Amino acid sequence: MENCRLFLLIFAVFHAFFSIRSQPYVGINYGEVADNLPPPAATAGLLKSTTLSNLRLYGTDPAIITALAGTNISLVLGVSNGEIPAISSDPSAAASWVSSNILPFVPASSISTVSVGNEVLNSGDPSLSSHLLPAMQNLRSALAASPAAAGIKVSTVHTMAVLSQSDPPSSGAFRADLLPTIESITQFLHDNNSPFMINPYPYFAYQSDPRPETLAFCLFQPNSGRPDPGSGITYSNMFDAQVDAVRAALRAAGFAGVEVVVAETGWPYRGDQGESGASVENAKAYNGNLVAHLRSMANPVETYIFALYDEDLKPGPTSERSFGLFRPDLTPIYDAGILKPESDSGEAAPPSSATVSPIPPVSPIQAAAAAPPAEAVKPAQKCVPGIGGTGCGQPPAQKLPGTFSRNLSGSGAGLHLRQQLTPWLPMMMLLAALC
């Protein structure tokens, strides 16, 4: 009897330890539009004191790539929008880009993906959009030519404005004017086992509908839920609703098997007058509850929080310079639940004063399903209060049968040890009862 209880205690501690040690499905964005960023070595040390396992760069800063060599942190590197035309037009330019920005760093640094451009299809530049797929193809060929880089994936990042419909999520559909381009790009992603990358921002959806009930829905706080008559699912948060809208759009286009990766999502901790909801309390609630929500899933969608630091040189409203989780002196602006315990990181983690809001339980339908979440829209992209990016005068998309509120990618990539242990929990509970 005593040995049985001791075994259960050891198992519980083991399970809890690996639940917080690392989260392969949670990453963060590292923007560099700033003049006060800490040295790359300091940033590498900060990242190692967190449970984050992925870092997305918008370029190919060699200093930060080198600083993360030999760590367990996987990198997404970026090709700037300005580099796309040359890489698209000349395979040798793609080979040169890979030789300069990838080959010097692998395999010492772990590079998972190259993101070609950022939000190109919503850049307002049709010429740039026409160069996007050829650039992706040339880079894929250049990577495949080197054994050290052949496993690196190639994708591109979209805003939620590529959707014409997202409310309810089961009616998700791509814009008719973008559909041929998106279908060609997504066929490339499918053929190369690469993810569809999207930027969801519930914060901007709240801006278009600043009611208390919308705020609770966006912050993963208790709310009455939003039913989707097309799927029979009642959604408890904006994040899942938006990701499922993207999944529905992919399914309607014939690409249900393509993984979704959330390339950016976040909440500003301050803003100008009139920027509803921009506060430390709400930023902490959104990001903290997001991390807790992802932890609660068996197979979470890979998600990159925006952002590691503020970017003080960014133009626009104050909120654009206020998405950071950490200050340049490496202290947290608030605790989003990503810091390792001091004993695990080897460094003293900054003190936490976070009060994360309770997350409503996932419904049986949502828990039983299996597909990735969807995202939000930026101000000019919103049409329907509460969801965003929908109802823009487009005919409603055909409603799809069945359930696709799957909270993870169907591929099951990036399983964490905690998730592998999860099936054993019922057995442990039974054993506990017998003890």
Model pLDDT for residues 261-311, shown as the tens digit of each residue: 999 999 999 999 999 999 999 999 999 999 999 999 988 999 999 999 999
> Would you call 32 exposed, middle or buried from its count of C-beta atoms within 10 A (0-12, 13-18, 19+)?
middle
Q: Pick the catalytic residue: 83, 183, 213, 264?
A: 264
At residue 435 the predicted structure's pLDDT band, cuts being 50, 70 and 90, is low
Does residue 423 belong to any structural domain of this protein? no
Amino acid in the structure at residue 225: G
119 noted as active-site residue: yes
- β-pairing verdict for 226-228 and 233-235: antiparallel
Provide the residue range defining the domain that includes 259.
23-415
Q: Pick the catalytic residue: 83, 119, 275, 302?
A: 119
pLDDT at 342: 75
- Average pLDDT (150-174) is 98
**Highest mean pLDDT: which range of 2-6, 19-23, 98-102, 370-374:** 98-102
Distance CA 369, CA 389 (A): 24
Q: Say which residue the tokens 């029979």 belong to.
A: 232
Which tokens is 90 given?
């000349």
Does residue 291 belong to any structural domain of this protein? yes
Share of the chain above pLDDT 70, in %: 73
- Average pLDDT (363-375) is 32
Task: Establish how many alpha carbons lie within 13 A of residue 247's alpha carbon, considering only the half-sphere containing its beta carbon.
Answer: 32
CB 254 within 8 A of CB 398: no
Does residue 432 belong to any structural domain of this protein? no
Query: In sequence order, what are the residues at sequence separation of 6 or more whose Cβ sits closer than 8 angstroms to the Cβ of residue 243?
Result: 198, 200, 260, 262, 301, 372, 373, 374, 375, 407
CB 310 within 8 A of CB 280: no
What DSSP string runs through 218-269?
HTT-----EEETTTTEEES-HHHHHHHHHHHHHHHTT-TTSPEEEEEE---S
Does residue 37 belong to any structural domain of this protein? yes
pLDDT at 381: 32
Does residue 15 belong to any structural domain of this protein? no
What is the pLDDT of the chain when averaged over all its residues? Answer: 82
Helix %, strand %, coil % of the chain (to 5): 40, 15, 45
C-alpha radius of gyration, the chain, whole number: 21
At residue 344 the predicted structure's pLDDT band, cuts being 50, 70 and 90, is low
Distance CA 223, CA 358 (A): 11
Question: What letter does residue 109 receive in the DSSP assignment?
Answer: S
Beta bridge partner(s), residue 52 = 23
Write the CA distances from 363 to 246, 293, 368, 403, integer angstroms: 20, 13, 9, 13
On the question of pLDDT at 395 being above 90, the answer is: no
- Average pLDDT (144-170) is 98
Phi-psi domain of 4 (left: phi exceeds 0; alpha: psi -120 through 50; beta: other)? alpha
* Cα 410 → chain centroid: 15
Q: Per residue in 178-223, pLDDT tens?
A: 999 999 999 999 999 999 999 999 999 999 999 999 999 999 999 9
- Average pLDDT (40-44) is 98
Write the CA distances from 171 to 119, 224, 253, 397, integer angstroms: 23, 21, 12, 5
Does residue 3 belong to any structural domain of this protein? no
Does residue 17 belong to any structural domain of this protein? no
Share of the chain above pLDDT 90, in %: 72
Q: Which of 18-32, 53-67, 213-227, 274-288 has the lowest mean pLDDT?
A: 18-32
Distance CA 67, CA 124 (A): 36
* Cα 289 → chain centroid: 14
CB 76 within 8 A of CB 115: yes
CB atoms within 10 A of CB 9: 10
Total count of domains within the chain? 1
264 noted as active-site residue: yes
Does residue 198 belong to any structural domain of this protein? yes
